[in-house]
Amino acid sequence: MLLRQLFAKISNLPVEPAAETSPATSVVLFGEVLMDCFPEGDVPGGAPLNVAHHLLQLGRGAGLRPMLVTRLGKDETGYRLLNAIQATGLPIQGVQQDCLHPTGTVRIAVDADRGHRFEITPDQAWDFIHADMARLVGLMSRPQWVYFGTLAQRAASRPALRALLQTTRANGFLDINLRDPWVRKDVLRWSLGKAHIAKMNEEELHRVARMMGLGSDDSRELAARLNNAFDIDQLLVTQGAAGAWLQSADGTRFRTRATQPDTGAATEVVDTVGAGDAFAAVFLLGQTQGWPIDQILDRAHHFAGQICRVRGAIPESADFYQPFIEAWHLSAERLT
């Protein structure tokens, strides 16, 4: 039973204290946790939550326990989200509560071509993550990785992210999400400078390069210039159904295979909501497990493609994850 089912069943239950978190937490995920409002109903969402959920379901047997750093309103929606997060097994020590600002919501419209449009409400609780509390989570969890994006830095949460990164000194995984009107050059420049890995799509690559004044129309040249300008170890560029490619700081380039043996024409797209988050989750998982880069890319692309076969960002059943766990040999024996 996964997030959507749990959300429906436990919306009105009180929150109980979470179990003590292991100090070996590998990934802390910072940013927006909110309610995705589809025409057919509401489900928990936000990129950090989607990525954390995939990491937990896939990496639980390998000892991976991701932790969220976010903020919810002290309102009905916030309590429902908090219960749903805890019920999936994710720790809630990093989930702050806000008496002044409401829990975030995003209205999602699915277009005829299976794309989607977002209406993101301003001045939500996740815009006001408290820096001191974020710092405490970093000290408690001592993560290997901190996952963060650009959208969560649109308002007063920026100092909290800075405090978290400064406290942990973890590797930064930057997942760029350029949502107008909340695109700021200074935020983008700072974020790129904190990224060990930076993920963006092809369109975002060219827009970011223009904003940073790097010139060139060639994607590979732009990637090299971004790597050099911001000391990024791995620049990851997604291309939707066409796959993804990665350019490392030394100029080595990797890309997904042209065809996937277990996907291809059999993949029926329901919608693409959460596909990028699914890709990011498996890429991070591969980093924690020490997989080769070309294998990480192929597995992340395949997993994202399968997420496109379900409605929304999170599958209905835990059974969805089992074939990946078995095929990728994700067990406690792999944790060192």
For CA atoms 316, 32, 151, 163, give the dihedral sign: negative
In the block, which residue shows the tokens 């732009």? 222
195-216, pLDDT tens digit by residue? 999 999 999 999 999 999 998 8
270-301, pLDDT tens digit by residue? 778 789 999 999 999 999 999 999 999 999 99
Average pLDDT over the chain reads 86
* CA-to-CA separations, 237 to 139, 249, 290, in angstroms, rounded: 32, 14, 20
pLDDT at residue 19 in the model: 41
pLDDT at residue 42 in the model: 82
- CA 78/CA 149 separation, integer angstroms: 21
pLDDT at residue 188 in the model: 97
Lowest model confidence (mean pLDDT) among 60-64, 114-118, 174-178: 114-118
Q: Is the pLDDT of residue 11 over 60?
A: no
Whose CA is closest to 313, among 271, 263, 274? 274
What is the three-class DSSP state of 263?
coil
Sheet hosting strand 145-149, strand order edge to edge: 95-98, 67-73, 27-30, 145-149, 171-175, 197-201, 234-238, 244-248, 253-255
pLDDT at residue 272 in the model: 80
Question: For the residues of 54-117, what is the DSSP string, one character each?
Answer: HHHHHHGGGT---EEEEEEESSHHHHHHHHHHHHTT---TTEEEESSSPPEEEEEEE-TTS-EE
pLDDT at residue 12 in the model: 43
Question: Which domains are delineated in the chain?
Answer: 3-318 (3.40.1190.20)
Helix, strand and coil in the chain, % to nearest 5: 45, 20, 40
In the block, which residue shows the tokens 């509390």? 133
Q: Is the pLDDT of residue 263 over 60?
A: no
121-146, pLDDT tens digit by residue? 899 999 999 999 999 999 999 999 99
Q: Is the pLDDT of residue 178 over 60?
A: yes
Residue 64: Cβ-neighbour burial (10 angstroms; 0-12, 13-18, 19+): buried
